[in-house]
A and B are shown apart, each in its own frame.
Chain A
Amino acid sequence: MIERAWLLLLIVGGGAQARAENSVLPRGVGAVQIGSRAYGEIGENYDAGGNRASLARPFERDLTGRSILSGSGGDDLKKLGEALRDYDGAAIDDGPKLVDELDMGKLSGDVKANVRATYVGAAFGIGHELMLLLAVPWVEASSEARLSHTGGNNALAIKEKLGDLAFTELQDGLGRAATLSERDVYREVEAAGYGSIERWEGKGFGDLQLAAKTAKSRRLAHKLVASAGAAIKLSVPTGRGDDPDELADVPNGKGYAGLGVEVTPRVTIARLVFLGFDASYIHNFERDVERRVPEGEETLVAADRKTTVRLDPGDDTGAAAVVGGAYKGFSATLVHGERRHRGDRYDGSLPGNYGELAASSEQRERYDEIIFGFDTIAAFRRRAFPVPFMLGLTLHRTASGENVPAVQYLEASVTGFFSAN
């Protein structure tokens, strides 16, 4: 897959004031929120070292002799490199090495993913300072991979230099290598039983989010209010998880259940400025999933290696600093936070490299958000406006990370309220 870490943490938001003071809906009052999140075109991610890299990197191949020897070009080219290296072998140190002379250029790529999520959320106050929340996302995603070959290719010259010394298999291999192109990667992917990477599309429900939230506030001094919110959150794996037969898919669910808590302490000053932080911990539950179990470190795992394995996902944690201001229904909030997902573990009866299967599952995203809001709740309470509603606009940007996509998204939401009393 292009990226495993599409964690769509959709929450039912609140107005700026609600967020500032950890408000919950009064008993018998409900809210319905509809939101849409549009990601900008995603072409990069952060690798395990925290460096930005193209999403196409798994398909990019440096095809110099030394690189293919280290496995850059896949198993077949590695064998080709090993054969050339062996010709240079032990007989004499002097002279140029075949494997150093070999340069078949570079396969580079451009992979773009587009994701759009729409969600419907609902909240309902069931008691004093307690409300239930529910959100169901609908995710549409697509990805496109365009690979291209650049640079020269001297495989034919190497073949000619080896002449009659080369085994038939090596001659054939060099002959094929001489015509290497991006089409070979596409063919290789498809030959391994994966779906096409040139274009992938998918849509469906994401993971169902449930929460129960409570909040308390206390005036500390004149114009100084402290509040604390706490929520129990449950994630139900209704979304489609990682597809072992796709390399370019964008999962719209995590594939396993999670249960955790979130606390949101705040301090509000003069009802104009608020600050605080969010902290969360989610425990994720083991589940049987289908995966292709690699034998080594191969990028393309054979289709017959697909089996049911036990996934023990790592837990999720989150922390964010929040500061904002509100005035006459308008608000602006700045969030700087970090989300982490601990590394997964796989196990199964089929012998294989389960460690490789879990590679890149340790994730971290540090992000910034700006949230603009407008609500009529205060005006409604003053009977200055007939309908209570909220509008929200969120700009999210991944500031840094490890094994997560570098994303920016724009989320817009509208929330309406009703009373059952």
Chain B
Amino acid sequence: MQRAASAWFMVFALGLTGCGEQEPPRRVANAETAGADATQAAPEIKLDDAMTARLRAELAARDPRTLTADELLALADCRCAAPMRAKFIDSLGEGRGVLPQVLVPAIRREIRGDETLNALMAVTGAFKSIAAWILGAVLDDQALADKIRSGVLDKIKRALGSTASLLDARPKLTFDLFMPENRGRAAASVSFTARDQAARAALVFAHPDLWGGASADAALLETSRVLSEWHYVVGERDNETEHVSGGLLLDHGATNSAALKGYEAGSSAMPGLFSGSYAVRFEKAEALELALNVQEHWTRAPGSTTLEEQAAVLDAAAIAFSRLKPTARSASGTLFAPVSGLFPGNAHALPLVFLAGFGASFEASFVDSERRLVFSATDRAQPASLSDLGRLLGALTRWYAELVQIAPEDVPEEAAGSLDGSAASLQRAMQLVTFVILRDHDLAAANVTEAARALSALTRAEAVGLKSDFLVEKIDALALDFVTNRLRPMLSAGVKGESALAAFASAHAAMHALYEVRGAAAPVWMEAAARALDEVLGD
């Protein structure tokens, strides 16, 4: 089991408020355009502005609770909408379900470790009922919430300094903030899906303000929540009680709840898959009783594991690893300080569990090596769609970029030795997925989101791990088609037949990737894009 190196309890109940929307960073294509004034317009900057404006308009018109996982993932890819506002995040949690705070092992451990509480709990015999009455009076839900909050805020204060806006926000705390619809019921239950969780995780870890900036505190809290959820999913053993909390990984090839298990770092067995739709039930009780004695019962809705879901989990994990690894922490290293830190020092080991789990099942469950086929689910009934493959290639590319030249200090102790050969395996998987995209899928017939996602993934893959003049030719041809037949119409007439939010976000990400990777070569599609912009947007 992953061993919590410090308390994670702090984050679950925090209402995230007051985090102002951050202006997205201006991205430029190459050195020539760097620093250019947006109003004067290198075409890519003009395009960035135009698409960002449309994207924000689409986002503003939407209730966050109605956003789909696909849209969230598109926003994470795009990194252009800066949705890391507290209300936005809360709405996501309410709308899509999260792990109940009361189940977070670190929170329960903190409560159990409280000296006052322990003294009262030691009372026996006739005094026990009195002690229970006192506990109920002294340590009600609100008191526990305050206790948790103070611990969290102390850590954040130490980590971010006194300027952190959250310290003044006084967020409301309740145990069941993330399952509000169940509050007060006789039996509590909550459900969430791995795909939704991955989408939220991708969104938070992709946020540019994760380790600093105006909305950093909100990002940090959401980061803590996501990591706690992952920790629970992987499973955590309490060294004192030997109690194992969580463990929701699905055995490879299994389809039902009976195969849920945890994973212990260093084990010879490979981790399972974080997959499907999970539901938990536990008896209604007072907060103290829940914290001390709750027995949760998890069930997973039967069904095979889909590639699209696993690609989302893998993608989120890759983004998380890139942000959590020691060499990416820079000045925010105090967040990972032992004991006093907000996150455990080995937080970056957690995403690697999902990589290992996927790696153990990919070829066996999703691939027909002989025929070079990739399936959309572990039932191997249907070939993978362009959407599946685009998402997967993006995730594989992110991981490859992380692992191909990983710094020694970024290799967690738990993963020492196990990463050998990972980059080569990832590259082979990238070769296969790219091959299948090129062989089986007509990007011109796909919708904007799918085509853009695939184009973006191909572009990144070529730049990072699949250096190929042939692929560059294909990418430029695909880009010209995309600019001419997709981008131009959507800028002038909007998006029809699919989510405009996902389409604009994905197109934005694709064009960003294209300018970044191919901009210096000035291929034909760039001129076409510039002309299209002039026609649609005017000079």
Contacts and interface: CB of A to CB of B under 8 A. Distances in A.
B478 A92 contact: yes
A92 B444 contact: yes
A86 B442 CA distance: 13
A162 B470 contact: yes
Contacts of B467: 163-164
Given A91-B478, A92-B478, A165 B431 contact: yes
B441 interface: yes
Contacts of A92: 442-444, 474, 477-478, 481
Interface residues of A, number: 20
Given A86-B438, A89-B438, A94 B470 contact: no
Contact of B442 (A87, A91, A164): A91
B466 A94 contact: no
Contacts of A86: 372, 435, 438-439
B473 interface: yes
Given A164-B427, A167-B435, A90 B468 contact: no
A180 interface: no
A421 to B, nearest CB: 80
Interface string B452-482: 0000000000100111111101100110110
Contacts, number: 75
B17 interface: no
Given A86-B435, A165-B434, A95 B474 contact: yes
Interface in B408-446: 427-428, 431-432, 434-435, 437-444
A89 B389 CA distance: 15
Given A164-B465, A165-B470, A87 B477 contact: no
Given A87-B435, A87-B439, A163 B471 contact: yes
B443 A161 contact: no
Nearest to B372: A86
Contacts of B443: 91-92
Nearest to B424: A168
A98 to B, nearest CB: 7
Contact of B470 (A89, A90, A98): A98
Contacts of A162: 468, 470-471
A351 interface: no
Contacts of B438: 86-91
B468 A164 contact: yes
Nearest to A96: B473
Nearest to A98: B470
A91 B470 contact: no
B470 A161 contact: yes
Contacts of B471: 162-163, 165
Nearest to A84: B470
Nearest to A95: B477
B139 to A, nearest CB: 60
A163 B468 contact: yes
Nearest to B482: A92
Contacts of B469: 160-161, 163
Interface in A157-180: 160-168
Contacts of B465: 164
A315 B391 CA distance: 66
Contacts of B480: 94
Interface in A75-97: 86-92, 94-96
Nearest to A91: B438
B442 to A, nearest CB: 5
Nearest to A94: B477
A164 B477 CA distance: 19
B437 A165 contact: no
A98 B435 CA distance: 13
Contacts of A87: 435, 438-439, 470
A244 to B, nearest CB: 30
B431 A167 contact: yes
Interface in B362-386: 372
A163 to B, nearest CB: 4
Contacts of B481: 92, 94
A89 B431 contact: no
A166 B471 CA distance: 10
Given A87-B470, A92-B444, 8 more contacts: A89-B439, A89-B441, A91-B439, A92-B442, A162-B468, A162-B470, A165-B434, A167-B431
A-B CB proximity, top 3 nearest: A89-B439, A163-B468, A165-B468
Interface of B: 372, 427-428, 431-432, 434-435, 437-444, 462, 465-471, 473-474, 477-478, 480-481
Interface of A: 86-92, 94-96, 98, 160-168
